[in-house]
Amino acid sequence: MPATSSECGLFREEQQISQASLKVGIYGGQGSGKSTTAALMAIALSKLYHNGAPVMFHDTENGSDFLKPIFKMEGVPLFVRKSRSFRDMCAGLVEGPPKGACVYVEDSLTTDWNELLDAFKKARNLKTIEFYHWGQIKPQWQSDWVVPMLNSPMHIIVCGRAGDVWENVANEEGKLKAERTGTKMKAEGEFGYEPNLLIEMVSEMQLEGGRRRGGRFIHNAYVLKDRTRTIQGLCFKWPDINAYKPGDYKKIFSPFEPHAAFFNIGGTQMAVDASASSSQLFDAAGNFDYQRMKQQAQIFLEEIEGNLLALWPGQDANSKKFKGNTIEALFGTRSWTKVSTLPLGNLEVGLVRLGMIRARTQNVILDTEEDVDRMLREATGWTPDDEMGKGASA
């Protein structure tokens, strides 16, 4: 059955949600509950949607040891790699699916981002990273981590430390002053745009009657971004889970279930086409398509001029007239300025015809108007009357 017009081309109408796995970012200060929240969300996704399939955990802070008893209690296998290595973090995306893993927890992205920067400086014997170095670092970050993470069939839960956002704000005197205007995940500057669900964790001492109660904390999960728009802007609270009981993961995951319900869990994950590229717009020297076409047009123009000079190298009146007639026959104008603005295809056709004229007249001297007119008529069908007709009609 032939494809319909709506099925052809790069863009098509999708019949179902192509997002099959959650991509979650969680950041906050120390003790805010990032690691525990990520672990309990991973257990919930495993047990509620994947029949208790394994969870991958790249641990840069040794936090996984304190979470293993919970995974064991819930019967969810946990595969751990303890290292501070960007390369190891990326390897987890590759190793997870063959192991049957359904969730990948990265804790903490901040550490692995810093390790990547340190590795770059060490490899190039640098003390600091200059502005122009980002053109090398960020493509590596995107190709090795961001794109594979987005396309991974596993649910990805990324933890990171909180960093401040500073902006220049004008004071009453109109002078700019750097002020803290918010927070973000402390890692590559644009990573906060990648997760579909972004959560900021903030802990506060639990109070009773205006007094602290037994050193317990309340954990606040502020939903800063939810692309499904089901829990956008909400804040969920829960106390420390000091004595974990089987099934407690449901209390933590329950507020986020509306977000998970949007996804086509069990389907095929397709976030971005990693094979798509605009590299064909550039030549081997890195020239953009427009610039390359402009250069090619200039080459054609120089070739045309060279052929005309080869036919009539003199500057006498007849040579100038013969050149003008040839330009008129080939391009429909006697203006060289207009010829230089013609489309690339027109220039190429004209150059081919001019080359044919040269080939036919290699042993012929074109020094009379009759010979030139005959040659142009044979090559293009042009006659001097064409020019006269244009002048009369004008």
Q: What is the pLDDT of residue 174?
A: 64
Query: From start to end of 89-185, where are the E strands?
Result: 103-107, 155-170, 176-185
Query: In terms of C-beta distances under 8 Å and separation of at least 24 residues, what long-range contacts does 119-127 make, across chains too?
Result: 119/86
Q: What is the pLDDT of residue 8?
A: 58
List the domains of the chain with CATH numbers. 16-276 (3.40.50.300), 281-393 (no CATH)
Q: What is the pLDDT of residue 13?
A: 78
d(CA 380, CA 169): 69
d(CA 177, CA 33): 33
The burial of 227, by beta-carbon neighbours within 10 Å (0-12 exposed, 13-18 middle, 19 or more buried), is given as middle
Beta strands at 235-239 and 197-208: parallel, antiparallel or unpaired: unpaired
Report how far apart, in Å, the C-alpha atoms of 20 and of each of 140, 266, 311, 342 are.
25, 6, 69, 51
Report how far apart, in Å, the C-alpha atoms of 279 and of each of 139, 178, 268, 284, 286 are.
14, 40, 28, 10, 9
C-beta of residue 188 within 8 angstroms of C-beta of residue 21 = no
- Residue for token pair 């190298």: 313
Q: What is the pLDDT of residue 130?
A: 92
d(CA 69, CA 72): 5
Report how far apart, in Å, the C-alpha atoms of 52 and of each of 4, 158, 259, 296, 365 are.
42, 20, 20, 61, 90
The burial of 98, by beta-carbon neighbours within 10 Å (0-12 exposed, 13-18 middle, 19 or more buried), is given as exposed
Residue partners of 289: CB distance under 8 A and separation at least 6:
281, 282
Q: What is the pLDDT of residue 353?
A: 87
**Is the whole-model pTM more than 0.85?**
no
C-beta of residue 167 within 8 angstroms of C-beta of residue 34 = no
3-state secondary structure of 372: helix
d(CA 47, CA 66): 20
- Amino acid letter for position 7: E
C-beta of residue 33 within 8 angstroms of C-beta of residue 202 = no
Q: What is the pLDDT of residue 171?
A: 63
Q: What is the pLDDT of residue 280?
A: 73
Cα dihedral sign for 35, 39, 40, 45?
A: positive
Report how far apart, in Å, the C-alpha atoms of 62 and of each of 54, 79, 84, 287 are.
19, 13, 10, 49
d(CA 156, CA 198): 12
Partners of 170 in beta bridges: 176
Question: Which residue ranges of the chain lie beneath pLDDT 70?
Answer: 1-8, 165-182, 207-215, 287, 381-394
